[in-house]
Amino acid sequence: MGLSMKTFPTFSAEQLRTVTEAVCMSEELVSNFYKLSDGQWLHARFDVKTLAELSPAEIVDGPFAQIIRYEGQRRDTALGFEVYDFYKICLQDHTILATLEKSPQLRLLPFTLYIGTHELIHIVRFSKFLQNFNAPPAERMVEENRVHSLTREILAPVQTTGLRPVLEYYSRWRQPFENLHRPSGD
């Protein structure tokens, strides 16, 4: 069940420009990494929306973003309709902004660059059938670890101010999978 966006802060106009820049950079980086041509790239198969554009069911408290899969239909086929998966990346402004406020070493551009890259890798992997969208929870955790590793691999050579603290922030995902479930103090 979703939450009402009225209770959460949203990105300002300036922050939205920064997020848009980060998403554009993410698209280019992921496209280059997977060697996707313009025809192969999934522009018509996904969209990125911020909190102000989300329905209550698309708003969650906790993650920085979530991917929702919808069914799309194209009319211009010989059979009348072509059904395809359409993915919506739902950025959770309130969670991103709260984390930036608590972690002054993090900046919006590199943080949303990481988030966008991470979510686009998921979409490519779903679209190429490298991962099942409806995988069981244990398999999803393994996939999260894999996607964090790929995100780091893609972003490591990128020269963007403030990216190093973001990579350090996500460093726990580089640990062996078993360590992610251990309570701190063990």
Give residue-wise pLDDT tens across range 143-183.
898 999 999 999 999 999 999 999 999 987 655 444 444 33
Q: What integer is the mean pLDDT of 100-126? A: 96
Closest to 23 measured CA to CA, from 120, 128, 147, 167:
120
